[in-house]
Amino acid sequence: MAKSSSSAISLKQIHLTLIELMKFSFLVTFFSIESFLITQKWEPKYHLLTVSCFILLVIAKSYIVSPPSVYLVDFSCLKPPNFCRVPFSTYLEHAQMMDFFDSGSVDFMARVLAHSGLGEQTYLPTSVHYIPPKSDHQEAIKEAHMVLFPVFEDLLSKTKLSPSEIDILIVNCSGFCPSPSLSSIVINKYCMREDIKSFTISGMGCSASVLAVHMAQNLLKTHKNSYAVILSTEILSNGWYAGKERPMMVLNCLFRMGAAAILITNKTKAKKIAKYKLLHSLRTQMSFDNKGYYSAIREEDSDGFTGVTLRRDLLQIAGETLKSNISILASKILPFSEIAHYNFSLIAKKVAQKSNEPVYIPNFKTVFQHFCLPTSGKAMIREIGKGLRLEERKMEPALMTLHRFGNQSSSSLWYELGFLEAMGSVKDGDKILQLGMGSGPKCNSLVWECIRPIIEEAQKGVWADCVHKYPIASFDKN
């Protein structure tokens, strides 16, 4: 994997170098023509013609080669109702009352909760509060209404946008794919336009929200002057595991209720009101590798109950998947000095033939001021942070989101961005890296640049009533 990662950086750097050489050659050609015209004492009109051609080519390149910029106007996160709150004591008490869990299973779930990084204020849908939980299709539909409609309406209120103004709608939910689709449910509820481009993404895991932004970005390249709304959630009502296989019980303990709505656009006027500009998006995956493919997979246990099995080597697979994405991203955004340092370290290791000698890890803090990491558990967050050379403070958005809201799958990244805004951490010009990792396995990343001051966010949104309690200084670091 290290070899493929270094090759990705080297090839990309060669590609960028060739582009720069082509630009340089173009300038040399222009000045050579001008020098020839001057030495031959040609009339001024020929100089004017040459300069005009040069200017037209530059303008044409900016319009033809570069796609229109994509802006994040605003986003909203769902705060579930208080009656959905599930403290550890309630969770474990209900588990003890369920016939299909023995004492060993309950003890196992108690240990997972204790080491997960979750707090006592997380939420589960009403269907899971029943004893036993209701996991039928109708309950999943009710949950979809409960999470998607309020967060969508909040986004429309914040942006003063009408449903009829939306040109593209993307809804992502990994484990629940009804017919009509989730996007059709939203369109029906709000009587949206008949020519709206609608998409529903399923089965893409916790990385689906980032994937949806990447998809919207590509759609906006061919749909000029358009608004795209992304609704990101995970429906838990139909995903409850009622068996006894412990690797399948983990997600019962970690996943929690949540949703996010995001408005992005390529409208030029949005630059004056949008919060962020999208600089880069990147998708990588390792589904071709059987070890990675089976590291997290939905399947039936020996008793016929369906759940998601998490293998013991999941952390290692996640690290390799992350390395693949970050290596390519690094070649696009890191300064030349960091890339050179990395390549020199890699060559030195090969020359010295010291397999245990660590390769230099590029410093991503030279580019990014903020990081939104997957909230797949405290251990996963710290492992990713270690791989990116991040101190505890840079991991706070993910750790605190996990503590307050739990792992909300793909929508968690937007709760993290909301945390940064509520803390007043995001300044004009700051760059933010969002990393989404999901089953497959896959890793998707977004790079945003803040393009206006972010003010008064602490007084609104899902963090308004609790941001003063964070970060938690005594948060367990073991």
pLDDT of residue 180 exceeding 50, the answer is yes
15 pLDDT higher than 60: no
The residue with tokens 């200084």 is 473
Number of domains in the chain: 2
Q: In this predicted model, what pLDDT tens digit does every residue of 317-376 receive, in sequence order?
A: 888 888 888 888 888 888 888 777 777 777 776 676 655 556 667 788 889 999 999 998
The answer to the question of residue 138 being in a domain is no
Mean pLDDT of 264-291: 92
Checking if the pLDDT of 62 tops 60, the result is: no
As a whole number, the mean pLDDT across the chain is: 86
Q: Where among 64, 87, 113 does a domain terminate?
A: 64
Confidence of residue 7 (pLDDT cuts 50, 70, 90): very low
Out of 64, 95, 111, a domain closes at 64
- What is the arithmetic mean of pLDDT over 416-439? 93
DSSP β-ladder status, 442-450 and 276-285: antiparallel
- Which of the pair, 165 or 36, is modelled with greater confidence? 165
Residue 142 is assigned to a structural domain of this protein: no
Model confidence, pTM: 0.84
User: Which amino acid, residue 137?
Assistant: H
Residue 363 within a domain: yes
- Residues 176 and 92: their CA atoms lie apart, in Å, by 26
Per the DSSP assignment, residues forming a β-bridge with 201 are 172
Compare 478 and 107 and report the one with higher pLDDT.
Answer: 107
Any domain includes 321:
yes
Is pLDDT of 159 > 90?
yes
Given a cut of 80, whether residue 279 has pLDDT beyond it is yes
CATH number at residue 399: 3.40.47.10
* 220-224, 302-306, 447-451, range with the lowest pLDDT: 302-306
Distances in whole angstroms, Cα of residue 119 to Cα of each of 81, 256, 349, 407: 16, 11, 43, 11
Domain residues for 436? 279-291+314-469
Whether 349 maps to a domain, the answer reads: yes
CA distances from residue 442 to 61, 174, 325 in whole angstroms, order as listed: 34, 13, 9
Nearest Cα to 251, choosing from 296, 184, 197?
296
Give Cα separations from 440 to 25, 164, 260, 383 (angstroms): 43, 36, 23, 19
Token representation of residue 139: 């309950």
Residue with the larger pLDDT of the pair 29 and 260: 260
Helix then strand then coil, % of the chain, to nearest 5:
50, 15, 35
Q: What pLDDT is recorded for position 58?
A: 66
Mean pLDDT score, 31-46: 70
- Which amino acid is present at 433? L
Residue 313, C-beta contacts closer than 8 angstroms, at least 6 positions apart? 291, 295
Query: Is 438 domain-assigned?
Result: yes
| Burial (0-12, 13-18, 19+ Cβ within 10 Å), 462 | buried
Q: Round to the nearest angstrom and report the end-to-end CA distance of the chain.
A: 28
The confidence score (pLDDT) of residue 175 equals 87
- Percent of the chain past pLDDT 90, that is, above it, reads 50
164 within a domain of the structure (yes/no): no
CA distance 271 to 317: 39
Say if 101 falls within a structural domain.
no
Residue 477: per-residue pLDDT: 46
Domain boundary among 14, 30, 64: 64
Cα atoms in the Cβ-side hemisphere of radius 13 Å centred on 65: 6
Whether 478 shows a pLDDT value over 60: the answer reads: no
